[in-house]
Amino acid sequence: MTTSDQLIHLCKGELSVVVSTRGNVPAIVYWGSYLGASQLSDAMFLRPVLGGGIDFDAPLAIIPQHHDGWLGIPGLEGFRTDASAMFAHLQISTTEKSNTSATFNLSDKHAGLEAILQLQIDAGDVLTVSATLRNTGKTSYNLNALRVALPITASANEILTFGGRWAMEFSEHRTPWSDSTISITNLRGRTSHEKWPLIFAGTSGFSEQHGEVWGCHVGWSGNFEITADGVTEHHKHLLVGERLVAGEIILQPGESYTAPVIYAVHSSRGLSNASQQFHRYVRSQEQNREISRPVILNTWEAVYFNHDFEKLTALADVAASVGVERFVLDDGWFTGRRNDSAGLGDWSVDATVWPQGLTPLIEHVRSRDMEFGIWFEPEMVSPNSDLFRKHPDWALQDASYQQITGRNQLVLDMSREDVREYLFASISNLLDTHDIAYIKWDHNRDLVSAGAHAQTLGTYELLDRLKRKHPLVQFESCASGGGRIDFGILPYVSRFWTSDSNDPLDRTLIARGAKRLMPPEMLGNHIGSRINHITKRSHSLAFRASTAIFGWLGVELNLLTATPDELTRLTEVIARYKILRPLLHYGNSFTEDHSDTNIVVHGVNSQDGLQTIVSITRLNSGNSNHLDPIRVHGLEPLSQYEIKPLHFGTPAFAPHRQLPQWMQDARFVLSGLQLQQIGFICPPLLPASSFIVMIEKVVS
């Protein structure tokens, strides 16, 4: 760490973050590539004072303040009931620092407020920024917003954001960014399908391997806001935090509010490298290291609500025979749950369907050497349930007004201790009395007319308590698919359900977006039915499998109606996946650029550099059946690599007279530099098909 009187240089790996303490609140004046060990000068960051304005250059503080001359959106907004402290004036009181972290204590004695700002460079060269505000006054303080500002250089003139809809999450949207302000606001009460709390800013035309990129994620499972401001004071920046509704946070004397942690990355080598930094951070967390990730069969698309012991045990038999390692019983097992109009909240086994309870089914599953998992939706309640009839006041919405249902259900008030205690007892009782290894934790509707802050914290508290009581049970975060995938819920779950759509054509794009933040092994990918139950499109098993293997593999189809040939091929797919699992789950996931936007190229490099698996997918027909060569980065330039096709079924090649020459040769070897600069020729692909190759380093 090198410093001047007013500069703090945090650095780790390839990242440098320079913080200035010149103003009342610290300001990040540089966030980018490593600057080396040379002394830094304040003069590098001090701009001239212009005419026609205030008599100093207002800094972009980490918490921007109007009192400091900042004329854009402030980082702190709030007031007291006597209308005082409308504009707080926080100032640095003490500072603690190391090579990779800095903590700043701020205070405003007149407003009766204190704040703590913490910056740290974590694993993966990920910068984390956290802020806490404390009310030290004698009256209550109404907090409207606590936002963090991150500077972006003027050369960043494109924004990449993510969103979509149910069953088509994580679509990528590029927007030019010059003298403009782009705002993303989520008020759905959960991370949501429509707007994801992830944004990348980059230089013109930034791509997978090229361009300078800055990425930012709000680690929170509720409402959020991200503003990309390219207007105010010629300070391009991101202003990020939780989106609070009026009156949601009222701090009584002595109370504190902690904003969601902000996670930020910088890459000088394009978007794929930026995502790998987020991946390394996720993998560094203790709960994600070397855990078991068994192949799953989920029963939803096989039986839906039609639970029957004989049918489910037969399904378990076939699942075990094809190599499934965990059998998950989805929605429909609890009291009154014959469809989605009743039962949520009554978390006891339905005796009319399971007269002997779930134990016979679990024992049957365990006898087939599979683990047993089960579905819950704890945060919801059906109006047609014993729980709601007994405790209507437990619903989140005010009973004085019309209650709006979604999927025929209401939301439980997770801020209430009695609600969390009931749910903890209900779930724990099932886990204590049954051999259950896994819970699929669902969340199937948005919040309406209520703030999400206390709701989110209550859910975290319940999950944390359950994890401590049942440390061997794995939890999956599902919210109508990918509606709750973020770093806020990450400490409590081992897996995310990426989307309710298993359509492999859609999943190719859904997974590409989701992997911008999460490593593939955290994302559930299932081989669905030949005819997808959402899109009604039909796809080959080869294409479904080729898409699903790049994640935590599962099966979600009715194996009882599969043909013997389909079962044989599925067995082969799962067996090959298990061999490749260490590479797929612990290698470096990447995406490659390609000139044809109908072509998606992605893959995984092993940590030791000996193996690379690459998938090429054609989404739609193009102007030609010829594909430009597939280039692969991240290999040792002078090393030699052998390229081999890796089929997961019958390849779906477009009409041709002859395949590329290398596929007919006995052996095809290229150098790492040749693969990067020239690449290999891909055979002609039909729409909705994939071609996978294994690239192995030649070791003499």
User: What is the pLDDT averaged over residues 41-66?
Assistant: 91
pLDDT confidence bin for 274, thresholds 50/70/90:
very high
Look at residue 61 and tell me whether its pLDDT is greater than 50.
Answer: yes
Tally of CB atoms within 10 A around 375: 21
**Dist CA 589 CA 614 (whole Å):** 10
Cβ-proximal residues to 408 (8 Å cutoff; 6+ apart), any chain: 340, 341, 342, 382, 383, 384
**Dist CA 163 CA 197 (whole Å):** 9
Q: Report DSSP state, residue 334.
A: B
User: What is the pLDDT averaged over residues 341-368?
Assistant: 98
Look at residue 448 and tell me whether its pLDDT is greater than 90.
Answer: no
pLDDT above 70 covers a percentage of the chain that reads 98
What's the pTM? Answer: 0.97
Give the domain ranges of the chain. Answer: 7-284, 295-482, 590-697
User: What is the pLDDT averaged over residues 306-313?
Assistant: 97
Alpha-carbon distances of 64 from 25, 71, 198, 248, rounded to whole Å: 8, 9, 21, 22
pLDDT (0 to 100) of residue 1: 40
User: What is the pLDDT averaged over residues 351-360?
Assistant: 97
Tally of CB atoms within 10 A around 115: 27
CATH class of 590-697: mainly beta
CB 225 within 8 A of CB 186: yes
Amino acid type, 262:
I
pLDDT above 90 covers a percentage of the chain that reads 92
Tally of CB atoms within 10 A around 586: 15
pLDDT (0 to 100) of residue 232: 92
**pLDDT tens-digit map of 383-431:** 999 999 999 999 998 777 888 999 999 999 999 999 999 999 999 999 9
**pLDDT tens-digit map of 634-684:** 999 999 999 999 999 888 999 999 999 999 999 999 999 999 999 999 999
**Dist CA 498 CA 478 (whole Å):** 8
Amino acid type, 121:
I
pLDDT (0 to 100) of residue 84: 66
Max Cα–Cα distance, the chain, nearest Å:
83
pLDDT (0 to 100) of residue 83: 67
Backbone angles phi, psi at 582, to 5 degrees: -60, -40
> Same topology for domains 7-284 and 295-482, yes or no?
no
Alpha-carbon distances of 2 from 22, 26, 103, 151, 596, rounded to whole Å: 16, 17, 17, 20, 46
Cα–Cα nearest to 162, from 605, 404, 466, 499: 499
CB 620 within 8 A of CB 537: no
Q: Is the dihedral of CA 555, 561, 562, 564 positive or negative?
A: positive
Q: Report DSSP state, residue 409.
A: B
- Which residues are bridge partners to 663 per DSSP? none
Q: How far is CA 402 from the centre of its chain?
A: 34
CB 223 within 8 A of CB 189: yes
Cα–Cα nearest to 680, from 652, 659, 699, 653: 659
**Dist CA 203 CA 212 (whole Å):** 6
CA angle 41, 45, 50 (to 5 degrees): 135
Look at residue 216 and tell me whether its pLDDT is greater than 80.
Answer: yes
Look at residue 339 and tell me whether its pLDDT is greater than 80.
Answer: yes
What mean pLDDT value characterizes the chain?
95
Helix (H, G, I), strand (E, B) or coil at 687: coil
Domain 7-284 has CATH 2.70.98.60: yes
pLDDT confidence bin for 286, thresholds 50/70/90:
confident
Look at residue 85 and tell me whether its pLDDT is greater than 80.
Answer: no
Q: Which two tokens stand for residue 641?
A: 């690599």
pLDDT confidence bin for 209, thresholds 50/70/90:
very high
Catalytic residues: 442, 500
Look at residue 3 and tell me whether its pLDDT is greater than 60.
Answer: no
**Dist CA 453 CA 259 (whole Å):** 10
CB 615 within 8 A of CB 546: yes
Looking at the domain that runs over 295-482, which CATH code has it been given? 3.20.20.70
Q: Which two tokens stand for residue 123?
A: 């694993």
User: What is the pLDDT averaged over residues 528-541?
Assistant: 96
Alpha-carbon distances of 289 from 1, 234, 292, 520, rounded to whole Å: 30, 43, 9, 14
Backbone angles phi, psi at 589, to 5 degrees: -80, 140
Q: Which two tokens stand for residue 256?
A: 């504190």
Backbone angles phi, psi at 148, to 5 degrees: -115, 140
**Dist CA 625 CA 685 (whole Å):** 7
Tally of CB atoms within 10 A around 452: 27
**Dist CA 2 CA 35 (whole Å):** 10
Helix (H, G, I), strand (E, B) or coil at 66: helix
